[in-house]
């Protein structure tokens, strides 16, 4: 089916000043207004409500306050904080109610593994997926919040490497986008090789690398529009002709041939390929 909702995956933006740990991923002063204004513009309804989810952050209170402040400045005052910090919190009815009422959901940055470990298999994540599938909601995430939207999800690796088999660790993400791997801070942290390793292990997947201050707006489950000042890197492995990733030992460098790479800028469009698949239950 074609989802009625929209996704906004943001590559994050680092402060260039001295910061506290985790501040680089939660700091929104360096996300351009262009991206967050677009998020607000996509909200539907009168007095639309934004649900802010700071679960990934090590400073959830501060992160939630930051986003509340900036959304207030952008004219949105109907905001609820979905302050889920563990799997027990995920069962609280007030948080489920916020998800059912929200016109937009915002996942902050931090650690994407916290998102999958806390939300995986929960009713509240299923409710988000249902809202995405059947309503005009927009679901956004920055940095870790963006990386967790996809499946497979890269959660750890050598940021400046990734050329060694086993350097990149992958798990199941929140599955708003299937057969897509999203990575953030992409060019700044030199992550193209680690993305390539992820795609070499499953060439059916498309890799999308988001540079800082750059986002993709996904509509109808696969139509992509770039928003922001940087580049989006698309790594397409469907045409791979050869790779040694399955033949080498862990700790050895991998090779791959036949990759296609696209570089997209602001307002550029791209369609994520989809294939007819047998659905197994």
Active site residue 97: no
User: What whole-number distance in Å separates Cα of residue 68 and Cα of residue 76?
Assistant: 9
Q: Answer whether 241's CB lies under 8 Å from 216's CB.
A: no
- Residue 276 exposed, middle or buried by CB count within 10 Å (0-12, 13-18, 19+): exposed
**Residue position matching structure tokens 């986002």:** 215
Q: Is 143 a catalytic residue?
A: yes
DSSP 8-state symbol, 198: H
CA 197 to chain CA centroid, nearest Å: 19
Catalytic residue among 23, 175, 212, 225: 212
Q: Catalytic: which of 143, 150, 175, 211?
A: 143
And the tokens for 178? 């299937």
Annotated active-site residue in 23, 32, 57, 185: 185
Strand, helix or coil for residue 37: helix
Asked about 262 being catalytic, the answer comes back as: no
Catalytic sites, residue numbers: 143, 185, 212
């Amino acid at each position: 089916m074609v989802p009625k909702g929209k996704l906004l995956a943001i590559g994050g933006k680092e402060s260039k000043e001295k910061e506290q740990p985790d501040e680089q991923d939660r700091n929104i002063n360096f996300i351009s207004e262009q991206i967050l204004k677009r998020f607000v513009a996509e909200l539907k309804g009168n007095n639309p409500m934004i649900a802010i989810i700071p679960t990934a952050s090590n400073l959830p209170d501060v992160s939630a306050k930051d986003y509340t402040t900036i959304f207030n400045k952008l004219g949105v005052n109907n905001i609820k904080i979905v302050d889920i910090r563990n799997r027990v919190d995920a069962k609280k009815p007030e948080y489920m109610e916020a998800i059912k009422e929200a016109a937009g959901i915002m996942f902050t940055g931090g650690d994407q593994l916290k998102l999958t470990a806390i939300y995986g298999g929960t009713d509240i994540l299923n409710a988000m997926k249902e809202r995405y599938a059947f309503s005009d909601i927009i679901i956004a995430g920055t940095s870790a919040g963006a990386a967790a939207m996809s499946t497979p999800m890269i959660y750890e690796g050598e940021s400046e490497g990734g050329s060694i088999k086993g350097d990149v660790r992958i798990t199941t993400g929140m599955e708003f986008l299937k057969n897509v791997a999203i990575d953030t801070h992409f060019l700044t942290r030199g992550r193209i090789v680690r993305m390539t390793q992820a795609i070499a292990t499953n060439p059916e997947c498309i890799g999308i690398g988001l540079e800082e201050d750059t986002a993709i707006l996904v509509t109808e489950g696969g139509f992509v529009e770039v928003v922001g000042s940087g580049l989006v890197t698309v790594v397409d492995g469907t045409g791979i002709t050869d790779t040694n990733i399955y033949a080498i030992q862990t700790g050895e460098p991998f090779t791959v041939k036949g990759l296609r790479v696209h570089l997209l800028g602001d307002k550029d469009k791209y369609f994520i390929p989809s294939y007819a698949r047998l659905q197994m239950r």
